[in-house]
Chain A
Amino acid sequence: MDYEMQSRRLAEIAAKLLEDETVEAVLGLRNNPEAGWPTPYCARTPQDAERLVWNEACYTNLAFYLTEMRGKTAIVAKPCDVRSIINLISENQLDRDNFIIIGIECEGKRKDGKPAPGCDACPSSIPGFWDIAIGADGSDTWCDLPMAQTGENVTQWAKKSTVEERFDRFLKEINQCILCYACRQACQGCYCVSCFMDRKATPWEQIDADTGSKIAFHLTRAMHLAGRCTDCGACEKVCSSGVNLKYIYKGLSEFVEETYGFKAGVNPEATPVMNRYEADDPQVAFLGGDCIVGI
């Protein structure tokens, strides 16, 4: 990885796009010494473009910000950002004509000296699609770096573990949660105007901060993200309490891929997996079914 070359080329490209008025804004990251890591930044003038950086701590998923932008935008996107963008396009949340993707090669980011959440399972260093490419060496060709892919296989873990072990792991994470909803806010898939957690219309929906409510929140969120999670790790990256629940989302992604052959963030034309059905879907969950679902 040549971050310096990548940063330089990124700044050049961004400055050019802004100068030509091809786009109104370039969404990227800038250095932020007070925060301690690069934070989201929206460059609007060619001079601003110089502040855009690219280094090993640029782990923020910018797809969320893209949904908020007005006017034509260019987004600096690594593979996980592009997966998220594809997911949003397939759900009609983004108009492909309204933005330009500056795809940037990434071999995994680091947070607090460790691989950032999600990066250890990333399948490829090249974004799914792009308009302008910035390769690992700063050129306009991809280097296709080998990926470590050391992330845990949740299904395998679940098959080996007991119910108690799984419950303990889940409760251990849940107990640290303070229900601040940062994970929901940072998630590309959580774009509902009115989240189920914010609706307090009926008594049964009431949310306190007890264990039951935390379970209800995290499980329902996981359910809503089934087949939609792009494994970008944004939920764990923003969590200020250190709740690591990505394994649940990942486990569901693995299940959906294995059972229905669907992977989120691959095909922008695809109908989301939970929005369709096949008449011969397996009866795995049902009484008398072969119950492979039950692990």
Chain B
Amino acid sequence: MSAYEMRSNFGPLHVLTGNQVRDALEDVLQKFTVVAPVMADNKLVYDEVNDVSDIVLNDALPYKSPKDVVFPRVEDVMRFLENRVEEAQVIKPVLLVGAKPCDLAAMKVLDEVFTGEQGRYKDSFYSNRRDFLIIVGMNCREKKSGCFCEERGINPAFSQDCDGFLTLQDDGAVYEPLTEKGADLFSGATAASENSVSPGEETLVLNTSEAEVFTAMPWEKYAEGCIGCGTCTFICPTCHCFNLRDSEKKGIVTRTRVWDSCMYPKFTLHAGGHNPRTRKYERFRQRVLHKYLYIPENYGCTACTGCGRCIRSCPGGLNIRNTVLDIQRRLAEKREVHV
């Protein structure tokens, strides 16, 4: 089955002029809570939109990932009342517009982890939000410094991991519905599909085992500049570690889920006082290997999409891409020697 046949089930392409894009956005704004890239204090972020004119659809990549649409930074998940327990409910449909292919790929990783397509653990709070989420993806025509999505096998021009895809052109855009949910969001002059899906080749991967890299690599050198701020994990589209906290107010105990970061020294602190990862290189090693080794082992996909956010934001200049490249190089050298 070719990609074209698969996609055509949900209607033809829509060719929109710039004005039509705006009208269509105006239209969806009436029906949904819309989350889209907006400027906030000179930074582009994904945020809830109230006015169409605030939406910024261009080639810039928002500096934070859209993951908090489905996995909020702070979320009350349940409450303990006097004689019963209540779980949180989500009832509001949300439309995410303008997610770039790298962020769409990241959403797929989160889906894999939280909704357990492979029959693993299913996180009801995540999947509740995910069920109510409609995603309209958008192409990305500009490679920013630190971007390496193509090395991660992601095509910045098109992605199928969404409900509809908006391809920006110099004058207007082309909208392509990909699922039933995205079938009639944008409408314009119809045309036949010509996009061809060409998923690239993943070149930045670690084909190795933990035993081979855990102590043999110069992790201390890689992590020299780390200050342990955790910014990389907070802006990362796939980082998903969280902590649960109970707090009591007026007799009601609320359980809250908040993001956590493996880059904090206290992340692995045990109740007994032991801490298995006290040094910063151990924490950086965890982050790299989690993305490139442990998630691939457990879920079959690499949890780094090459968006480059951590590279651009790290105050210490740590670089996950260069680290993986260096490991690849060292492994190749080692294997050559063995042969």
Contacts and interface: CB of A to CB of B under 8 A. Distances in A.
A and B touching (Cβ–Cβ under 8 A): yes
Interface of A: 30, 32-36, 38-42, 60, 64-65, 176, 178, 180-182, 184-186, 198, 203, 206, 208-210, 237-238, 240-242
B311 interface: yes
A178 to B, nearest CB: 6
B188 interface: no
Closest 9 CB pairs of A and B: A39-B317, A182-B229, A185-B229, A238-B315, A209-B74, A34-B146, A185-B227, A40-B225, A242-B41
Contacts of B146: 34-36
Interface of B: 40-43, 63-64, 73-74, 145-146, 224-225, 227-231, 234-235, 245, 247-248, 256, 258, 261, 264-266, 308, 311-317, 319, 321-322
Contacts of A237: 315
Nearest to B316: A40
B321 A176 contact: no
A186 B227 contact: yes
A208 B41 contact: no
Contacts of B317: 30, 32, 35, 38-41
Chain B contact residues: helix, strand, loop or mixed: loop
A33 B311 CA distance: 10
B160 to A, nearest CB: 29
Nearest to B266: A198
A186 B146 CA distance: 22
A223 to B, nearest CB: 21
A176 B45 CA distance: 11
Contact of B247 (A32, A41, A60, A208): A208
B316 A34 contact: no
Nearest to B75: A209
Given A178-B234, A209-B74, 14 more contacts: A32-B317, A34-B145, A34-B322, A35-B146, A35-B317, A35-B319, A38-B317, A64-B227, A65-B225, A176-B41, A186-B229, A198-B265, A203-B248, A240-B64
A227 to B, nearest CB: 23
Given A40-B225, A240-B231, A34 B74 contact: no
Contacts of B316: 39-40
B229 A238 contact: yes
B231 A209 contact: no
A182 B145 contact: no
Given A34-B311, A180-B234, A208-B74, A39 B43 contact: no
Contact of B73 (A34, A176, A181, A209): A209
Nearest to B309: A240
28 contacts: A30-B317, A34-B145, A34-B319, A34-B322, A35-B314, A36-B145, A36-B312, A38-B317, A39-B225, A39-B316, A40-B224, A176-B40, A178-B234, A180-B229, A180-B230, A180-B234, A182-B227, A182-B230, A182-B315, A184-B229, A185-B227, A198-B265, A208-B247, A209-B258, A210-B74, A238-B229, A238-B231, A240-B235
A41 to B, nearest CB: 8
Contacts of A186: 227, 229, 315
Contacts of A41: 225, 317
B145 A178 contact: no
A91 B234 CA distance: 32
Given A34-B319, A35-B319, A40-B317, A180 B231 contact: yes
Contacts of A208: 74, 245, 247, 256, 258
Contacts of A210: 74
A210 B245 CA distance: 13
A33 B312 CA distance: 10
A241 B45 CA distance: 10
Contacts of B227: 64, 182, 185-186, 238
A295 B149 CA distance: 53
A33 B145 contact: yes
A10 to B, nearest CB: 18
Nearest to B247: A206
Contacts of A206: 245, 247
A181 B231 CA distance: 8
Contacts of B234: 178, 180, 240
A240 B64 CA distance: 9
B247 A203 contact: yes
Listed residue (B63, B73, B247, B317) with the most chain A CB atoms within 10 angstroms of its CB: B317
Contacts of B248: 203
B263 to A, nearest CB: 9
Contacts of A33: 145
A176 B41 CA distance: 9
A184 to B, nearest CB: 8
B229 A181 contact: yes
